[in-house]
Structure 1
Amino acid sequence: MKRRIDNSSLKTVKLVTILFMIFTAALSGCVDNGQNNTDNRTDDSANESQNTGTEEYIYGVANIENIEILTLESFPVQIHVIAEGYLPDGCTEIDEIKTETEGNTFNINITTKRPKEAICTQAIESFTKTIPLEVRGLSAGNYTVNVNGVNGSFELAVDNTLDETPDAMPPEQ
């Protein structure tokens, strides 16, 4: 006895088989990284590993387009540097701002970080950062500010110190 398979039954079997393979492939990507882990850790060590970031980053230097140096009207004088720049994509962010002083030069280094495996928007993101400089106690003179290769300068007309000597105090009455 021969069994005849019609065309529509064959198409249905093929369709079910293809859908099953697609469904299986889709679910295979939904496995949690910890499911296949056979470590014999205690609950405390498992909690610690969940709290520490294991994400790797790519570090770089921020692109600075312009700096502006503001002298605040106070005594002692306060100096703020406004740095304007851009980040190359939507995942990159400012990591650290470090200020070092060498003689009459303030070197400011603005670094960035970006998750290594992130998929990001490719739109440039602009930023503005205000960075206060530690100028209390500086002598009068000209000073240079370097922010990632962009330079500016400011001048202190007088020594930036408060004279708090007992002679400067008014006599008690």
Structure 2
Amino acid sequence: MRSTGLRYHASSMQALPRKQLRPAGPIPGRHQYGPMLLVALFAIAIAGCGGRRYEPAQAGRPYPEELGQGSMIAVQVFRDAGDLIIVNASPQSFEELDVWVNRRYMLQLDRLAAGETRRVWFGDFFDQWGETPVAGGFFRTETPTPSVLVQLQIDETSPLLGTVAIPDEDRF
């Protein structure tokens, strides 16, 4: 027997159209914005955790190009995730010095003793506009800034002192 799509009520014997049954699953198109909204909120929250990159109040002075670079000293500098490790292998101690990275970013140190190893966070360096380099680390959102050229400034008139900047292993 073929179904005609009609059903009959027993008391009146009238033909009534059959109701369309809804599928047991979710209604297509009804909750289409919920998951997308959740993903968008999550992406905004993660982007907000990116850390600082620009603080105008921390802006320093521009790189002292007029001083040039004098001699090289036995100080090695290398990166370890988001840190910059400075190893003073020389017999000389330095007081009130500025560490310049890539002729742009500067950090003031109170002291670097002879034989001392100092670990500083790369995000503590600032340029003349208050911008910091990309420090790196596990949760970074951008490629870390390499430390190619690292120089020490010991006063306002002496030439800068060159260091041995050891590149990251993945740069080879």
Does the TM-score normalized on the shorter chain lie above 0.5? Answer: no
What TM-score, normalized by structure 2, do the two folds share?
Answer: 0.27
Q: Which has the higher contact order (CA 8 A, sep 6+)?
A: 2
What TM-score, normalized by structure 1, do the two folds share?
Answer: 0.27
